[in-house]
Structure 1
Amino acid sequence: MSSSSIFDVNIDNVRELLAASQQQPVVFLFWSAQSQESLQLDKQLSQRIGKAKGLLLLARVNCDEQQQMAMQFGIQALPTTLIIKDGQPVDGFAGPLDDKALDDKLAAYLPKAEDELLQQALVLLNEAKQQEAFPLLSDALQLAPERVDIKLLLADCAVELGQLEQAEALLATVLLQDQDADFKAVQSKLALAKEAADTPEIQALETALASTPDDMLLKEQLAIQYQQVKRSAEALELLYGILRQDLNFSESKKRYLDILAALPKGDPVASQYRRKLYSLLY
């Protein structure tokens, strides 16, 4: 064994390595020190699997020493590579591969970047850390925009954070055939959140502002109410309108900055209104 992911196979550990394939794929390399192609492939696989952080294991079978084992696996040429998963061969190839072909072959058995982000986000969501999970889910969806499971988790997270417009926009992109029970659960949650976000205080201020649309104090008061129910985009738009007229009006700039700071990292609303503020300041 040369590392925690690379093993020299013998009669004592072969069953253990086959059992390990229940947890992660095991790459069995049947090689010979007499074969230059074997030595080259061994080097290529060792480098890649050594960097895979335990997500793949390499089981090196020296056929000069383990001829009986090679016969039991039905090996007819060297080098031969078998990929074992759940105790059974699922893929393999005889002879060498160039670097790109080998990378493509192994990539099929490694978690995709979006899956790693998703797993990190799920841990945070289980700890009710939606603020920290949100940017991970956003990044995962950028990598795999067709993934409905990621989209629904991001929409649910957006609802929890009060980003109702963003949640609604995400749900609107889910195709009819993908609108399953999970979709309907997030949709219902969004509907309830929207209803709760339309308080009597907000309705009264909206009516008053409609009568006097230039009243900056009313705008600020309404922005405060919007932010209390996490309607951040609407609050920022009102405050931005105030700052365009008077950068130093009341507490509007401070409230604007406080809302930006409270939004999750990578939130598109925060990015949009941060750029707007910079355009006013500079």
Structure 2
Amino acid sequence: MQANNIVDVTTQNFQQVLIEQSRERLVIIDFWADWCEPCKQLMPTLEAIANKYPDDVLLAKLNCDEQQELAMQFGVRSLPTVAFFKDGQPVDSFAGVKSQSDIEAMLEPHLPSPSDDLIQQAQAKLAEQDNDAAYTLAKQAYDVDSTNLAAKKVLIAAAIAMGRLEQAQQLLQSISLADQDADYQQLKARVELAEQAADSPELRALVEQADQQPDDIELQLQVAAKLHEAQRAEEALERLFALLQKDRSNDTVKKSLIDLLQALPDGDPLAATYRRRLYSMMY
């Protein structure tokens, strides 16, 4: 009994397999014939791959003796021949017998990456304006595969939403010129707007006042809270740490610092960095 993702291709279903199915997952077409011994060697390998990737791969077996017209349409010249189709288009092929590892290496660029599901979840959370969850998921996706441009872009978007503008800028700068598309330009513009919004005249004046009165603890706490509200968490943390370094017994400062750290989303590198600093300072 064939698995659900293994089908025989005929003139009746080949369009549905190649066009519709290849929009949902990678279609592997195996051109074979009953008299072809290498075909019989290769088929178990292809079936093993189909069983290994049940959600991402469809194995379509085309018997060239029974479906000669289709084989001619595809221009098959030798057997076995294997072609990969994605979104209705051929993306790769090979002739002859290959090992499972060699075939899987050819498949890898066309299969979903481990971070794709995390990226989709992060995008959904951003759409819901659940920025904490979006940032956590986006950071996980980026940590899984930092070369994935989509993971990098969704982390930039989440960083902007969380006010991690320095991180967003660093990630933007790491995108190559060839990849600076419309999405990149939009993200860049959003960073610039967020930077302007985070630097209101009122907050700037309050920060200047606090800088002139470094020993006014209430003022420093007020500024830290305002910085946090403006999504400038790192500046708020630095200000609270400066207070704690002056007086490690000040429970009000310590509580404000711990509250701010707990407010950071899971996976935020700021949280790990400043928790280590707090631990080393207190213990």
| TM-score, normalised via structure 2 length | 0.80
2:230 counterpart residue number: 229
Question: CA 1:105/1:167 → structure 2, altered by over 3 Å: closer, same or farther?
Answer: closer
Read off the aligned partner of 1:8 and give its amino acid letter: D
Please list, as runs of the form range in 1=range in 2, the aligned pairs for 1:1-282 lying within 5 A after superposition: 2-10=2-10, 12-23=12-23, 24-31=25-32, 37-61=38-62, 63=63, 67-70=65-68, 72-74=70-72, 75=76, 77-87=78-88, 89-142=90-143, 143-145=145-147, 147=149, 150-174=151-175, 182-199=183-200, 202-282=203-283
Q: Alpha-carbon deviation of 1:3?
A: 2.1
Question: Deviations along 1:147-203, whole A, 9 cap, x unmatched?
Answer: 3x6544433322221223323333444566765554444344334433333355544
**4+ residue runs of structure 1 moved beyond 6 angstroms?**
none
For residues 67 and 181 of structure 1, the distance between their equivalents in structure 2, rounded to whole angstroms, comes to 49
**Structure 2 residues without counterparts, runs of 5 or longer:** none
Deviates more, 1:1-10 or 1:101-110: 1-10
Deviates more, 1:83-92 or 1:234-243: 83-92
For residues 67 and 179 of structure 1, the distance between their equivalents in structure 2, rounded to whole angstroms, comes to 49
Question: CA 1:228/1:130 → structure 2, altered by over 3 Å: closer, same or farther?
Answer: closer
Q: Alpha-carbon deviation of 1:242?
A: 2.4
Contact map agreement 2:119 2:154 (CA 8 A) in 1: no
Contact map agreement 1:55 1:110 (CA 8 A) in 2: yes
Contact map agreement 2:220 2:239 (CA 8 A) in 1: yes
For the residue of structure 1 that corresponds to 2:45, the secondary structure is: helix
Q: Alpha-carbon deviation of 1:25?
A: 3.0
Question: CA 1:201/1:29 → structure 2, altered by over 3 Å: closer, same or farther?
Answer: same
Read off the aligned partner of 2:65 and give its amino acid letter: Q
Question: CA 1:155/1:16 → structure 2, altered by over 3 Å: closer, same or farther?
Answer: closer
Question: Deviations along 1:38-67, whole A, 9 cap, x unmatched?
Answer: 344222222222232432210123x4xx62
Question: CA 1:4/1:204 → structure 2, altered by over 3 Å: closer, same or farther?
Answer: same
Contact map agreement 2:45 2:99 (CA 8 A) in 1: no
Q: Alpha-carbon deviation of 1:258?
A: 2.1
Q: Alpha-carbon deviation of 1:115?
A: 4.1
Deviates more, 1:135-144 or 1:155-164: 135-144
Q: Alpha-carbon deviation of 1:214?
A: 3.5
Question: Deviations along 1:223-278, whole A, 9 cap, x unmatched?
Answer: 12211222110111111222334344142222222222222222221221111112
For residues 205 and 182 of structure 1, the distance between their equivalents in structure 2, rounded to whole angstroms, comes to 35
For residues 59 and 146 of structure 2, the distance between their equivalents in structure 1, rounded to whole angstroms, comes to 29
Deviates more, 1:84-93 or 1:99-108: 84-93
Question: Deviations along 1:75-115, whole A, 9 cap, x unmatched?
Answer: 55443322234555443222211232111121232123344
For residues 19 and 253 of structure 2, the distance between their equivalents in structure 1, rounded to whole angstroms, comes to 63
CA RMSD in angstroms, aligned pairs only: 3.2
For the residue of structure 2 that corresponds to 1:103, the secondary structure is: helix
For the residue of structure 2 that corresponds to 1:113, the secondary structure is: coil
Deviates more, 1:193-202 or 1:91-100: 193-202
Question: CA 1:179/1:20 → structure 2, altered by over 3 Å: closer, same or farther?
Answer: closer
For residues 29 and 178 of structure 1, the distance between their equivalents in structure 2, rounded to whole angstroms, comes to 35
Contact map agreement 1:201 1:225 (CA 8 A) in 2: no
| TM-score, normalised via structure 1 length | 0.80
**Structure 1 residues without counterparts, runs of 5 or longer:** none
For the residue of structure 2 that corresponds to 1:265, the secondary structure is: coil
For residues 179 and 35 of structure 1, the distance between their equivalents in structure 2, rounded to whole angstroms, comes to 49
For the residue of structure 2 that corresponds to 1:266, the secondary structure is: coil
Deviates more, 1:102-111 or 1:4-13: 4-13
Contact map agreement 2:28 2:58 (CA 8 A) in 1: yes
